[in-house]
Amino acid sequence: MILKYHFKQKNYVKTVEIQIEKSRSLVEGLRRHVKEMGERGVTNEEINAMEQSVKELEAVNSEVDSIREQLTPTVAKLKLVMNRVKEAYAEKKKTLKGYYPQERWMDYGVPDKR
């Protein structure tokens, strides 16, 4: 599950970066045309609030990037250990299934499915 999350995480990082850029651009455009937008119901306060939210998103994104950098070696180690455990599990399960009838597999914690 963690590995699947890590893959989805890469897509999410790009999505956040794209949203930041699009939002910055929109705020700049709204500021350039604040008078026109005011006539259409978009206030300066709303633009300021949006700009503040974008800045907050940038700060949180930066914090997440920093944590991600610290986490990367640990995730790599997790993958190595996980592969080692999976290989050992498969090997022992194969041995067990080769020496015992299906009825005994549950005694060793192996589901009796083929």
Q: List pLDDT tens digits, range 53-109.
A: 999 999 999 999 999 999 999 999 999 999 999 999 999 999 999 999 998 899 999
Question: Is residue 9 one of the residues assigned to a domain?
Answer: yes
Question: Is residue 59 one of the residues assigned to a domain?
Answer: yes
Question: Is residue 49 one of the residues assigned to a domain?
Answer: yes
State pLDDT tens for residues 30-65: 999 988 888 889 999 999 999 999 999 999 999 999
Question: Is residue 113 one of the residues assigned to a domain?
Answer: no
What one-letter code names the amino acid at 77?
A: K
Q: What is the band of 111 on the pLDDT scale with cuts at 50, 70, 90? A: confident
pTM of full prediction above 0.75: no
Question: Is residue 68 one of the residues assigned to a domain?
Answer: yes
Question: Is residue 33 one of the residues assigned to a domain?
Answer: yes
Question: Is residue 15 one of the residues assigned to a domain?
Answer: yes
Residue 97 belongs to what domain range?
2-108
Question: Is residue 114 one of the residues assigned to a domain?
Answer: no
Q: How far is it, in rounded angstroms, from Cα 46 to Cα 30? A: 10
**Number of independent structural domains in the chain:** 1
